[in-house]
Amino acid sequence: MNEDLEMKLQEFVSYRIGHGDSISTAERRARRIKTLAKYLDVNRVDTGSIFKYVEERLRKGIKKKSLRIELMDLQRWFEFLGYNVVLPKLKKEPDPDPFIPTSNDLIRIREFCLSRKDRYTWMRNLAIVDLLTTTGMRAGELIKVNIEDWKGDSLYIRSEKGERDRTVPLPKWMQEELREYIENYRYKTDPKALFTSRTGRFNYNKLRALIKYVGTKVGIPQLHPHSLRHYYATMLWKAGVDIREVQILVGHARIDTTTRYTHISQKELGEKVRDRVEEVFSFRQKLEPKGQIHVKNDGSEPNGMGALGFEPRSAGLS
């Protein structure tokens, strides 16, 4: 990639932050434009090339959702360059159920972190995974957390998407884990940041790489930071927390987003009670006659009985 585009991308990040994007969202947009530059001339609008790119990607099986995100970022990029253009819009597909790790998955992840020899690195990594799990924070929110945001039994979270900031409770074991990490393992390379590396505040790219690495190592390659957020919301709902309270705790702007977790739980409930449903509604088998009644080739029934084993109504009663 040439230096001119690199400089423009840096300006684009600042531009998008100024227009309401979080830092992580603006950086993700820039990364997508950088990738698109391998296939398109992103410095000028060529709708023919864009349509061709979309067609080729669809033929290769890429999901429409992924393409919609690319086109949305490209739209924002052209706006930044000063072009007035409307890019193609793809019909939205139903969102698939998100991947949600199980409690056993999380136990395996903790065991893996605790088995590592580099205690400074892995006690921090363990605290990161556990805090994502017990607070439902987004990745971009976690990297912004400062030491002062930890209030002992709760954590103050700065919203990543322009929603209200929120305070969430912490289980006692999480409080103890954070205290041990801060007192014994935290790198003092940043005076404010809760999570640090040898060079400063732990950043977004390192966080995503960490979760992907841990997931791969324990046999959960689909693990990502947001899946731990899904786990948090789903477990709260299963525990009987009101859906609007779940909405506040996860920081959703719209209740519709949160109610998705009720659908997931209901689906799981359906699988759980399947055997009971078979048992409860077994009356059909109990009512069926023991012997099988055969219909004659001419359509008449033996012994004057109907095909279901009872006499036909008389003409006066039909």
Active site residues: 138, 161, 226, 229, 252, 261
Non-local CB neighbours of 106 within 8 Å, separated by 6+ positions: 129, 133, 231
DSSP state of 91: P
Burial of 122 (0-12, 13-18, 19+ CB in 10 A): middle
Residue-by-residue DSSP string for 270-318: HHHTHHHHHHHTTHHHHHS-SSPPPPPTTS--GGG--TTSSPPPPTTT-
CA 134 to chain centre: 15
Q: How many residues does the chain have?
A: 318
d(CA 6, CA 79): 17
Q: Are 87 and 50 in contact, with CB atoms under 8 Å apart?
A: yes
Residue 157 backbone phi and psi in degrees, to 5: -120, 125
**Cβ neighbours of 215 (radius 10 Å):** 21
Pairing of the two strands 166-169 and 196-197: unpaired
